[in-house]
Amino acid sequence: MAADDILFAPIAVVAAGYRSGALSPVDVNELTLARIAALNPLLNTFITVTADRARAAAWHAEQELRRGVDRGLLHGIPIALKDLIDTAGVRTTCGGRILADNVPARNAPIVDRLEEAGAVLVGKTNLLEFAYGIVHPDVGPTWNPWAPDRTAGGSSGGSAAAVAAGLCFAAVGTDTGGSIRIPAAYCGVAGLKPTYGLVSTQGIFPLSWSLDHAGPIARTSADAALLLQVILGEEIAPVERAGLQGLRLAVLANHREGKEMEPAVLAAFSAACRDLADAGAVLQEVTIPDLHLADDALFPVLGPEASAIHSRWLQERPQDYAPFTRLQLELGLTVSSLAHVRGQQYRRYLAGQLLDILQNADAILSPTAPWVAPHEDPVIADEAGAAEGRRTGLYNLSGLPALTVNCGFGPGDLPIGLQIAGRPGADREILAIGAAFEALRPDANRRPPLPAALQE
């Protein structure tokens, strides 16, 4: 198998290769590290590459597998973590200057789970500063593997780009308004924002306690499901469904519309809906009154929580933030307590409306983002930021699980995401729907064009 074929293979295929002896964790890890060395200067995907630690973990995995100690499908598989997830002894910068030298003493519990499963951590991935404002100039943006003059998206852009570029097999990101799903859509991979509270956020630097979620990013829904099961400490079992016949899918009309929608995104979304219907799913159009108020509710919830978290640094080290991060943190100080409470109340109202839809549907479909990857990440607090997160933020507010999978390519051959949302706790079900959709689209998970850096 050629190096690229190995690095873009499904995790189950690599795992089978380890057990048959066709592949070795040490060799796969070295291929991964070599690709990171070649591409990270171009993409700025990793803030820290943990090469020595990865080599030791890969060697250990290989020895264990030879001895018959099998920790499951992630054993010996290179993975990455967003650089706000605590890793004992490995710096965790949150993408900025304030914590540039922060080395946690302990792992986040999800990191313990990944290590117990034998996963090989190859590095800590780039992100928007504190997963919030914008890129910090000390760190710089993550560039998109499909077009290195465009953003990989935020805030988990490093995780999504690393997965898309074959620099790891899966990664963990976080999502407070779309920060797993938007970069996953821009980079053409799968990303799940789980049900609120399903995945522990202990040991993960918070942006907004009531909206934060941690979840998997992988090239397929099946690989994302595998990572989810490991970080939940569950037995690994395939997430699949027997076809799409009779599946009831609600198409959220509000989110097919809007002046921000690029025609190519709408066309790809419509084609995805047609393919699902042709495969036997039953689609119905639904509309949520007052859904525009989700835009109004997001910042009053998020902003004050973020500003409370950063209040001490905002007073003592304001100049160390990127300018727009500082601006947004200062803006959070101006939200009244009543506005915060009204935002929290709206979450109940919105969740009720979504659950009403899901009484007659198994999942809700929409485009993930209204456009393909832009050149720069918009600021959350302005209109472009609101438009970018309009189709994702409602699931942070409501807490319902939402998955993005690739559903085509737009201008410049840039990826487009299809979002599939479900009932609380239906994470596995929407991953299974995602996998069934991916099976209809064999080209959906194609690789980004090989950069010149690797052809030399």
Partner 1 sequence: MSDNNPGQVDTAEVQRMAAHNGVRLDPERAAALVPFVQGLLEADARLAALDLGTLPAAGLPWAPFGGSMHGEGGSGHGG
- As annotated, the active-site residues are 82, 155, 179
Residue 311 engages partner 1 in binding (rule: CB under 8 A)? yes
Query: Taking a C-beta distance cutoff of 8 angstroms, is the pair 160, 137 a contact?
Result: no
Task: Give least dist CB 419 to partner 1, A.
Answer: 18
Task: Give least dist CB 102 to partner 1, A.
Answer: 23
Residue 253 engages partner 1 in binding (rule: CB under 8 A)? no
- In this structure, are strands 190-193 and 402-409 parallel, antiparallel, or unpaired? antiparallel
Q: Which of 236, 381, 439, 440 binds partner 1 (CB under 8 A)?
A: 381
405-444 residues near partner 1, rule: CB under 8 A: 423-425
Q: Cα(294)–Cα(250) distance, rounded to whole angstroms?
A: 19
Task: Give least dist CB 56 to partner 1, A.
Answer: 37
Interface with partner 1 (CB under 8 A), residue total 48
Is the Cβ of residue 27 or residue 295 nearer to partner 1 in the bound state? 295
Region class of 335: left (phi > 0), else alpha (psi between -120 and 50), else beta: beta
In the Cβ-directed half-sphere of 275, how many Cα atoms lie within 13 Å? 20
Q: Which of 70, 116, 234, 382 binds partner 1 (CB under 8 A)?
A: 382
Question: Which range of residues in 56-64, 129-137, 276-284, 325-333 is near partner 1 by CB under 8 A?
Answer: 325-333
Residue 398 engages partner 1 in binding (rule: CB under 8 A)? yes
Residue 320 engages partner 1 in binding (rule: CB under 8 A)? no
Edge-to-edge strand list for the sheet holding 213-218: 46-49, 120-125, 78-82, 170-175, 213-218, 190-193, 402-409, 415-421, 363-367, 248-252, 282-286
Spacing of C-alpha 252 from chain mean position = 22
Q: Which of 37, 333, 376, 413 binds partner 1 (CB under 8 A)?
A: 333
Is the Cβ of residue 66 or residue 248 nearer to partner 1 in the bound state? 248
Residue 331 engages partner 1 in binding (rule: CB under 8 A)? yes
Residue 336 engages partner 1 in binding (rule: CB under 8 A)? yes
Residue 335 engages partner 1 in binding (rule: CB under 8 A)? yes
Q: Which of 121, 273, 397, 433 binds partner 1 (CB under 8 A)?
A: 397
DSSP 176-194: SSSTTHHHHHHHT-EEEE-
280-299 residues near partner 1, rule: CB under 8 A: 290, 293, 295-297, 299
**What CA–CA distances, in Å, run from 260 to 179, 257, 382?**
19, 8, 14
Helix (H, G, I), strand (E, B) or coil at 429: helix
Residue 197 engages partner 1 in binding (rule: CB under 8 A)? yes
Spacing of C-alpha 182 from chain mean position = 7
* Nearest-10 Cα torsion for 401, 405, 408, 414: 100
Task: Give least dist CB 319 to partner 1, A.
Answer: 12
Burial class from Cβ neighbours inside 10 Å (0-12, 13-18, 19+) for residue 101 reads exposed
342-371 residues near partner 1, rule: CB under 8 A: 342-353, 355-356
Q: Cα(257)–Cα(238) distance, rounded to whole angstroms?
A: 35
Single-letter code of the amino acid located at 374: P
> Which of 338, 357, 329, 386 has the alpha carbon at shortest distance from 250?
357
Query: Taking a C-beta distance cutoff of 8 angstroms, is the pair 406, 306 a contact?
Result: no
Is the Cβ of residue 299 or residue 371 nearer to partner 1 in the bound state? 299
Task: Give least dist CB 394 to partner 1, A.
Answer: 10
Is the Cβ of residue 294 or residue 373 nearer to partner 1 in the bound state? 294
Query: Which residues sit at the interface with partner 1, rule CB under 8 A?
Result: 195-198, 290, 293, 295-297, 299-300, 307, 311, 314-315, 327, 330-331, 333-336, 338-339, 341-353, 355-356, 381-382, 397-400, 423-425
